[in-house]
Amino acid sequence: MEKLLEISDLNINFGSTIDPIRAVRGLNLSVGAGEIVALVGESGCGKSLSALAVMKLIPQTARATGNIRYNGTELLAAPDSVIRSIRGKEIAMVFQEPMTSLNPAFTVGDQIAETLRLHLKLSRAEASKRAVDLLAKVRIAAPEQRAKAYPHQLSGGMRQRVMIAIALSCNPKFLILDEPTTALDVTTQAQVLEIVRELRSESDTGVLLITHDLGVVADLADRVVVMYAGSPVERAEVGDLFEYPSHPYTNGLLNAVPKRSDGIRRKLEDIAGTVPVVRSEPDRCVFADRCGYASADCLEGEPQMADISEGHQVACLHPLHRDAGVLN
């Protein structure tokens, strides 16, 4: 499979070089053409920041090191002129909050048309017509009328689909979706996911999906990378991850999903504690304080990613499988 995006040893720090906040630590992942890779974890674990690094949009107070290669181009070291030619045209991103991402002073049709005129050099009339076509493609009813609407006149689901229309306007080869279904009702969520499936099948587009919704991951993704406190802790194909969650954190995330079977209501489980802020190089497992399986050796160095089966890696000294229910 052709690799569109390859991230190698990505680190993102905030603050002074003496005592920085290590927001992303040693992230490695790749996304191939026509592949959907999900990056999951709690809020504050570095998912969205990693996506912004791909777009070279991290805050000025942050420092990124490592390598991010897109289609052979090293993005972190690329000049702004190269990034501008890629961003929005080759790589597009649907941001988490459509209401704050859309300009309230312009109609949604004008905002889609602006991207088309900038990157594809279309005339005003051609861009306006194409904007209406894109609204229809993302299943917005009465697209000619909606193109003349302002963001505040649209529902949350419509605004999210407008953001997808903008992202798709230049037929990108790679798409980043940051929490694309947050705050959407289940019907609208299903429509958004179906749009992504069609895009993958029709255009062989690679997708990086940022989400905390494991239902969306199970429904859409091919592979999954689980992050905790800025660092990847498990990496697997989606089927293996759900059948054999091997890091206690991954297992905790799955147990925290509401379940109801055989008409029985089950108590919602949670993961005690909060995600820590990592400053210095960890000398222990950063999940140990929240882990029910931690032992003394977990406090003697941070575990590194290791293979437990083909295509399945975990950063844990005591990986477990749900079907066995015990430590291996």
Q: Enter the tokens of residue 67.
A: 């390598």
Q: What is the CATH number of the domain that holds 40?
A: 3.40.50.300
Q: What would the mean pLDDT of 226-234 be, rounded to a whole number?
A: 95
pLDDT at 328: 41
Express each pLDDT in 143-182 by its tens digit: 999 999 999 999 888 998 899 999 989 889 999 999 888 7
The answer to whether 235 and 29 have CB atoms below 8 angstroms apart is yes
Picking from 171, 196, 223, the residue at the C-terminal end of a domain is: 171
Q: How many domains does the chain have?
A: 2
- HSE at residue 290, side-chain half, CA atoms within 13 A, is 18
Q: What would the mean pLDDT of 15-28 be, rounded to a whole number?
A: 89
Confirm whether 15 is domain-assigned: no
Confirm whether 123 is domain-assigned: yes
Judgement on whether residues 107 and 164 belong to the same structural domain of the protein: yes
pLDDT at 277: 86
Q: What is d(CA 79, CA 101) in angstroms, rounded to the nearest whole number?
A: 25
Picking from 124, 141, 171, the residue at the C-terminal end of a domain is: 171
Q: What is d(CA 232, CA 325) in angstroms, rounded to the nearest whole number?
A: 23
Judgement on whether residues 106 and 148 belong to the same structural domain of the protein: yes
Judgement on whether residues 98 and 221 belong to the same structural domain of the protein: no
Judgement on whether residues 198 and 138 belong to the same structural domain of the protein: no
Confirm whether 25 is domain-assigned: no
pLDDT at 107: 96
Q: What would the mean pLDDT of 230-257 be, rounded to a whole number?
A: 93
pLDDT at 264: 67
Would you say residue 49 has pLDDT above 70? yes
Judgement on whether residues 133 and 108 belong to the same structural domain of the protein: yes
Would you say residue 323 has pLDDT above 60? no
Judgement on whether residues 253 and 115 belong to the same structural domain of the protein: no
Express each pLDDT in 251-305 by its tens digit: 999 988 876 665 666 677 788 888 888 988 888 999 999 998 889 999 998 999 9
Picking from 120, 142, 171, the residue at the C-terminal end of a domain is: 171
Would you say residue 138 has pLDDT above 70? yes
pLDDT at 220: 93
Judgement on whether residues 224 and 323 belong to the same structural domain of the protein: yes
Would you say residue 69 has pLDDT above 70? yes
Nearest to residue 177, comparing CAs of 161, 201, 156, 153?
A: 161
Judgement on whether residues 238 and 147 belong to the same structural domain of the protein: no
pLDDT at 242: 94
Express each pLDDT in 101-122 by its tens digit: 899 999 999 999 999 998 889 9
Judgement on whether residues 227 and 304 belong to the same structural domain of the protein: yes
Q: In terms of residue numbers, what domain contains 276?
A: 30-53+178-259+267-328
Confirm whether 68 is domain-assigned: no
